[in-house]
Amino acid sequence: MTGNKLSEFLIGLILLCAAWFLLPAALWAAEGSPGKAFTDSIGLAYIGAGVAVGFACLASGYAVAKIGSSAIGAVSEKPELMGRTLVFLGLAEGIAIYGLIIAIMILNKL
């Protein structure tokens, strides 16, 4: 892995691990709150939200690494392509936002 891909992968992995270790605290808080009974569906919803964000960030990091390296090569030969390459990079970064939106939708159903 190159440095950029490795750093994006490690950041995503750290976020997934943090979500995994913070999940029990969130479940205990939900269990102790009045009027909200603990069920398996709450735990699965938190896991699903974490997985959605984690995999979306990993995919976004991979896409940005591939598109970014290709964009630098293209811009070095034709500088007028800079605007188009930025659009493609923005689309690749949007993948992480889609995962966050899905997680928010999952957690709003609780």
pLDDT tens digit sequence for 23-71: 666 665 555 555 555 566 777 888 888 888 988 988 998 999 999 999 9
pLDDT at position 110: 72
Is 34 inside a domain boundary? no
pLDDT at position 66: 92
Q: What pTM was estimated for this model as a whole?
A: 0.62
Q: What is the CATH number of the domain that holds 81?
A: 1.20.120.610
Q: With 60 as the cut, is the pLDDT of residue 109 above it?
A: yes
Per the structure, the complete domain to which residue 55 belongs is given by 3-28+39-108
Q: How many domains does the chain have?
A: 1
Interior/surface letters 3-40, b for 16+ CB within 10 angstroms, e for the rest: eebeebbeebeeebeebeeeeeeeeeebeeeeeeeeee
Is 33 inside a domain boundary? no
pLDDT in tens, 79-106: 999 999 999 999 998 999 999 999 999 8
pLDDT at position 23: 65
pLDDT at position 13: 74
Is 23 inside a domain boundary? yes
- For the chain, the residue count is 110
Is 99 inside a domain boundary? yes
Nearest C-alpha neighbor of 12 from the set 72, 4, 76: 4
Q: With 80 as the cut, is the pLDDT of residue 75 above it?
A: yes
Distance CA 21, CA 4 (A): 26
